[in-house]
Amino acid sequence: MVKHIMYDETTYGTIVLNRPDKRNAISSKMAHTLNNLLAELKNRPPKFLVIKSAGDSVFCAGGDLTELHGGLDEVEAYKRLSPMREVLYKLATFPVPTICLLQGNAFGGGCELATSCDFRIAKEGTLFGFIQTNLGILPGWGGGALLYKKVQPNFAFQWITEGAIFPANLLHKKGWLHHVVSAEKWADEATFLKQYTNKSKEQLTFLKQQFMENVQLYNIKDEMERESRESAHLWPSDEHKRAVNKFLNKS
């Protein structure tokens, strides 16, 4: 049986989303596995943690729409959104730096997952969008609340409200992406992660603590939970049902 979440640890830890046939969409089982894995790793963290995914075209398409469909009521939507909100919070407050490697596009929840990491490195030519408002809802995993901590609030507000899709080079200028790597050099992960591997684990742990204190990530849990509840409140809306049905029929 194929594992949809894989973990490997050498010089650093690597989590791989391994569901390329479904554009690495997150199922409830994957969310459960991620939660358990991150809880375990918190007690024995690697030097730093990398999140990446299988396939070439899509990093993560967000939540699995066969489970997060438009027919859910507010209570059930909140229940199904909560496990990934917990994953994002665990990543945002992980004791060592987390690095998201974006080999392909990310939309919706995929951008939320990337935002929960400390650093984002993308392959050139990729596209990213907080598109949830185009579906009649809000970011459901608390990633919007995190975005306000990671980029200028004005830009976060614009990106989420407009539901825009932006290219990697623009998001590098906006500070959401920290590095954009050429397609030719993308396979050479050891080289573009060298600036992290050449630091000691003790250094990286102190630096992560300092970062969390300065951006007040310790207080983000309530903001993420509120955003998730507001998204769930909008879930049964006609706008959301129409948008999801349109997407599923197109797919």
Domains in the chain (CATH in brackets) are: 5-191+219-250 (3.90.226.10)
Model confidence band, residue 251 (pLDDT cutoffs 50, 70, 90): low
User: What pLDDT score was predicted for residue 244?
Assistant: 79
Which tokens sit at 179? 């590095």
Find the mean pLDDT for residues 113-130: 98
pLDDT 10s digits, 26-52: 999 999 999 999 999 999 999 999 999
Burial of residue 45 (CB within 10 Å: 0-12, 13-18, 19+) is: buried
User: What pLDDT score was predicted for residue 216?
Assistant: 82
Instruction: Tell whether pTM > 0.95.
Output: yes
Q: How far apart are CA 63 and CA 212, in angstroms?
A: 27
Q: What is the mean pLDDT of the chain?
A: 95
**Confidence check: pLDDT of 226 > 70:** yes
**Confidence check: pLDDT of 79 > 70:** yes
Radius of gyration of the chain (CA): 17
157 phi and psi angles, rounded to 5 deg: -60, -45
